[in-house]
Chain A
Amino acid sequence: MTRKLIKSVINIENKEHEFIGEVSLLEQETWGKNDTLKIIGKEISRIDAVDKISGTASYTSDINLPGQLYGKFLRSPYPSAKILKIDLSKANALKGVKHILTYENTAKYKWYYETSFLLDPIVRYEGDEVAFVAAESEEIAEEALKLISIEYAKLPFVVDTEKASTEKNIKVHNWGNIVEPSEYKRGNIETGFADADFTIEDEFRTSVVLHNPTEPHCSVVNWDNDELVIYDSTQAVYQIRELAANALGIEQEKVRVIKKYMGGGFGSKLDLGKYTIAAAIVSRELKKPVKVVMDRKEQNLCVGNRPDSIQKFKVGIKKEGLLTALQLNSMGTVGAFPEGAGLSWPAKTMYKCPNLLVNEKSILTNAGAARAFRAPGHVQGIFGLESLMDECAAKLNMNPLEFRLKNYTEVDPVSNQPYTSKKLKEAYKKAADLIGWEDWKAAGSSKSVNRIGLGMASQIWWGGGGPPAHANIKLDKKGNITIYSGTQDLGTGTYTFIAMVASEVLQIPIERFNVVIGDTKLCPYAPVSGGSMTAPSVSPAVRDAAERLKEKLMDTAAILFDEEKNSIKYSNGFCVNSDGSKKVSLSEIAGHLNEQDLLIKGSRNENPKGYAINTFGAQFAKVEVDTLTGKVTVLKISASYDIGRVLNKLTLDNQIRGGIIMGLGYALMEERIIDENFGKVLTTNLHTYKIPTMMDIPEIVIEIASDYDPMISNTGVKGVGEPAIIPTAAAIANAVNNALGVRIKSLPITPDKVLIALYVSK
């Protein structure tokens, strides 16, 4: 028996999910360090690079089906209102308008965890869906939106997180404004504070930020006989299949979701879009394909954001630097519908602290709903925690790195389980050396106009991946090899590492492999591409499939040579017999097989029991602050990580730098701003919502601290997509504090905040 059905629990994006699925039991020798391998760990160009660079890559928004209609949503201009009357007569009279959905003529498709509907007579944020027009062209659809007349009764609204948390009269839903209050206790917080030599209380804040992937959210939907085909710009083809089938009340087997290329997601494309279901409803009705593409404004209003945070800390420390107690009260807004704004995992798990008390709340406001955004919770939480740790070190006149090492933990403080691997100490050392940490001086040492500062921050995340995750490998009669897996490439290099892993096992060039992913009809199940779990889940399944294929090739060669199987050797795509007199290539073996296609399924193994699986890392920042203008310039970031085995050094470094740059935007410029008088978002385009450009990027140096995780899988890979962004803002904030001797306690650190802080401190 080489397979087994198991139940496993995996943490994805801050939520625990239970999976029942098949795992591989095939024993495979652990690969050694990357320098003993032929292709894994090398710098390999993407196999999909040419397609993307030449403009021939077809993204969802590039797909056009014959006779397709174009869909557009009419959205609420008000943050809170009740729809009194809808008049579609003028819009319906416009030539080319084919169908208009409103709550009056559409079934009540439940949405947002059953707190609302696809089309709801109550609108709860600026941008909430009111009507859906399908027309012969995008221009006609847009024109029709202007001809729909809606009578609204405006309702009171609340857009400020703190105000909403205590507001008695203005409720986003009739049941209140608070979701998911949670409490976590460890040890005894009172004794912890009593044991402390010092206590520090402080508050840190972060802003709501917007994903802004370059490709807008979009779907092209068609009913092909009784099969619903959805081309979707998604991070999760299988999840979209399940959610769409459930929403429409049809069998999953009748839904096919396809995503070949996508223009970024960062968490915002894990969920089913209202646009997808509205398009499907119209498509089923009119028997025509329907295409819906968000514009930039819709994207920034309606398809997710990172919650803001207000983090109130109290910490107890001993003179020698040990944490005795940590208390955290936090809240953040999730917009108008239930989501999680929790951010306490770093506080719970980053350091050894015996006594902990955490209280968290997610607050409803009349704004677009939150969605997972690259390391949800951790990016906010690490900013607060690591700012606080710097304050502790300063209180004790201690080097911030030394303080963190004093509180280093070798076991997961929540479960008390050991880690499968933790190379954070090594990562600290490498990143510190790369930035020149020996030059670190206490905060505020410089009095010049332009002040240089050094800062650091640590990082923890999950990212171990897990089952079920499968890959099929197909050898056709001509020796062509295709690998299928229901995973996704977000720009992270999934296509390429799949070919690399198979190439390593079968010892033939990566050009020999076709990789097919992101299609629920062709590919076996693989998890969502979120939680940094794609590579750690999928790479072991690919290796498993390739190893099984190799076995099969050797079985066949044994028959061809009429020898015992254990005398056959496999080398560089050939099977050789015992005395080396007979040799047959992979393609020749394929030609001998009377099965036309050899299809072999590989699967991810079960994660080891009794261990915590985490990624770790540290970033150090060097900044320059102009005290006359308040402008912060990041000069350099060094980063080092324990992320298990490196699959492709070229795409890995690119992804880490990208995370750091996104973190830099979070630290210094990104912020969704809502006008509190009107409840309208002022930052709906890329002119008002600033993201980093090529002018903003610092020098970035990266060194990986880990060789491979020895326990989790046959590839020993952990994820890196989210770890890359987690510590950046905290490291920059600590460096700014180091430069100025004044701490900016809210993100983004804009010039006005710097100038005010300097002025107040004088």
Chain B
Amino acid sequence: MPENNSTGKFSRRKFVKGFGATVAGAVVLNPSIPKITKSLQKKIKISEKIKLNFNLNGKNVSTDIYPYNTLLEVLRKNMRLTGTKKTCNNGECGGCTVIINKQAIYSCHILAMDIEGKDVLTIEGIGDMHAGEVIRKAFKDMDGLQCGFCTPGQVMSAYALLLNNKKPSLDEIKTAMSGNLCRCGAYHNISASVIEASNKL
């Protein structure tokens, strides 16, 4: 929203939706991440920009955000990293998957201010790491993609899985990757890519 919004309104639904998801994420996925911090503090004014500091792909960054911005919006707009895709924007497809403190998270479903001080890893950040390189090569060799639009999200979910489980079974792979939809239906090759990467790591 513009700072001097003449109506004084903000998109409350969006804010509440993001807030709710953060709670769900915190409870269901992993109690340690992502902790609700600033979004619970009522003193924040929704129409005023706040400073956000976090670690993005190994570098400390700082950017001005609105409290209602999702992490996905901040990554794509503020940080100009368009590898993370906006596909459903509703926590249903996994196209926007990033890694926060070693866990795969839908970035469309977390408020950016809740990642204050946290480590965020995106598709652009994994290429320099050995595991990232191995996973990317596996997706290429096994053709774990078609149109490629869901691919960054798939790669990030695979990365998070292999980070926490070096030798996942096929069932574990299916469970870990089932939140990442691929309409082209490259699923067989995606799971084969994860297995290939797991064998090479």
Contacts and interface: CB of A to CB of B under 8 A. Distances in A.
A215 interface: yes
A685 B178 CA distance: 17
Contact of A140 (B2, B95, B183, B191): B2
Contacts of A62: 82
A48 B85 CA distance: 18
A140 B141 CA distance: 44
What secondary structure prevails in chain B residues at the interface with A?
loop
B11 A143 contact: yes
B127 A263 contact: no
Contacts of B95: 214
B143 A693 contact: no
A186 to B, nearest CB: 37
Contact of A686 (B85, B145, B181, B188): B181
A203 to B, nearest CB: 30
Interface size class of B (residues with CB under 8 A): 35 or more
A296 B88 contact: yes
B123 A685 contact: no
B122 interface: yes
Interface in B174-201: 174-175, 177-191
Contacts of A52: 145, 148, 151
B88 A658 contact: no
Nearest to B171: A695
Interface stretch (A90-98, A359-367, A461-469, A555-563): A90-98
Interface stretch (A647-655, A707-715, A743-751): A647-655
Contacts of A147: 7
B41 interface: no
A692 B184 CA distance: 10
Contacts of B93: 214, 686
A460 interface: no
Given A694-B191, A695-B178, A94 B148 contact: no
Nearest to B177: A694
Nearest to B146: A491
Contact of A687 (B81, B86, B90): B90
A580 interface: no
A215 B93 CA distance: 11
Interface stretch (A53-61, A325-333, A601-609): A53-61
B122 A55 contact: yes
Contacts of B11: 139, 142-143
Given A139-B11, A296-B88, A492-B146, A53 B174 contact: no
Nearest to A659: B185
B143 A263 contact: no
A49 B143 contact: yes
B54 interface: no
A490 B147 contact: yes
Given A214-B85, A661-B185, A695-B174, A50 B140 contact: yes
B138 to A, nearest CB: 9
Contacts of B127: 54
B140 A45 contact: yes
A56 B173 CA distance: 26
A262 interface: yes
B191 A264 contact: no
B87 interface: yes
A731 interface: no
Given A46-B140, A693-B181, A215 B85 contact: yes
Contacts of B174: 694-695
Contact of A491 (B4, B86, B184): B184
A95 B188 CA distance: 49
Contacts of A263: 85, 87, 147-150
Nearest to A144: B7
Nearest to A648: B143
Contact of A264 (B5, B82, B123, B147): B147
A98 to B, nearest CB: 13
B185 to A, nearest CB: 3
A213 interface: yes
B186 A685 contact: no
A687 B183 contact: no
Lowest 5 A-B CB distances belong to which pairs? A55-B83, A263-B149, A491-B147, A52-B148, A658-B185
10 contacts: A46-B140, A52-B145, A53-B152, A95-B6, A139-B11, A296-B88, A491-B184, A650-B143, A654-B143, A697-B188
Interface of A: 45-46, 48-59, 61-62, 64, 90, 93-96, 136-137, 139-140, 142-143, 146-147, 212-216, 261-264, 266, 293, 295-296, 490-492, 650-651, 654-655, 657-662, 685-687, 691-695, 697, 700
